Amino acid sequence: MEDNEYMKMLDRAFEKMPKLAAEVSDFKIPVVDSISQGNKTIIRNVAQIADKARRNQDEIARYLSRELAVPANMESSGLVINGKFKQEELTPRIKKYFDTYVICKECKKPDSRLEVAGRGMFMFICEACGSRYGIKSY
């Protein structure tokens, strides 16, 4: 291989690297944007949270319902939780969701999906590194 060609190949390799690093470091777990309405709490940015997690909005509702032990449903105004919860109580729960169900424990990347594995378990599948492991379902 000619030197010139080799340098070009290196250039191409380096072009790709900073982009990948940026994608990882740009990933931030969203902060919950919620308001209370009577005895209910509405998470207004559930679409943003679900997009970041690459999960269904209904999945997020189901998880929070389980975590908070109250009904939570998707409505036109957002994710409606029965009960009064402060933003400071909800954000750590969302963080926990990402830490457990979205971010791969092996490679720390968020490119994952869940499959129902039965017996109260999910199979966590990382699309970045290929890891698969069982986690408790919600």
Residue 114 as a binder of Zn ion (CB under 5 A): the answer is no
Query: Rounded to the nearest whole angstrom, what is the least distance from the CB of residue 50 to Zn ion in the complex?
Result: 20
Find the DSSP H helices in the chain. Answer: 3-25, 46-53, 57-68, 87-97
* Least gap, CB of 27 to Zn ion (angstroms): 13
Contact 88, 43 (CB under 8 A): no
Considering Cα of 103, then 108, then 112, then 116, what sign does the dihedral take?
negative
**Interface with Zn ion in residues 54-93 (CB under 5 A):** none
Q: Binder to Zn ion among 33, 58, 67, 106 (CB under 5 A)?
A: 106
Which one of 75, 129, 133, 136 is in contact with Zn ion (CB under 5 A)?
129
Query: Site for Zn ion (CB under 5 A): how many residues?
Result: 7
